[in-house]
Amino acid sequence: MEQSQLSAAFLWILAGGIVSLAAAYIPKFSSWFEAQAPNGRRGWMAIFLLITSVGLVALSCYEATAVVLARYVVIVCTEGGILEVIEVFVFALIGNQSTFLISPSKK
């Protein structure tokens, strides 16, 4: 598999995938998430993106998982690498929140 730089799209897809898996395999999560007010769902998605970002940095800094993670995406456990993840997080958050705003809502 080809190695690539961390991108907002990758982070967004990863966080969305985690939420989708949670909805599919954690009992009552899907109904709980859908019952949240629109602002609540936007807030939770921001939190999921943040958790994903922090998790990727943590995995890149932990020697055992850094090797596996490095096969798929480049995250360097340095100040510069962490700043890059913060930048990508901001772009992913902007994309996520703006998509939520233009998506049709159930009434």
Instruction: Classify residue 30: in a domain, yes or no.
Output: yes
pLDDT tens, residue order, the chain (107 aa):
455 556 666 776 777 777 777 777 887 887 887 788 878 878 888 888 888 888 878 877 776 665 656 566 667 778 887 888 888 888 888 877 776 666 666 55
In the chain, how many H helices and how many E strands? 5, 2
Distance CA 77, CA 61 (A): 5
Instruction: Classify residue 49: in a domain, yes or no.
Output: yes
Total tally of structural domains belonging to the chain: 1
Domain that holds residue 71: 4-101
pTM over 0.75: no
Instruction: Classify residue 64: in a domain, yes or no.
Output: yes
Instruction: Classify residue 107: in a domain, yes or no.
Output: no
Instruction: Classify residue 106: in a domain, yes or no.
Output: no
Sign of CA dihedral 49, 53, 56, 59: negative
Instruction: Classify residue 81: in a domain, yes or no.
Output: yes
Distance CA 52, CA 46 (A): 10
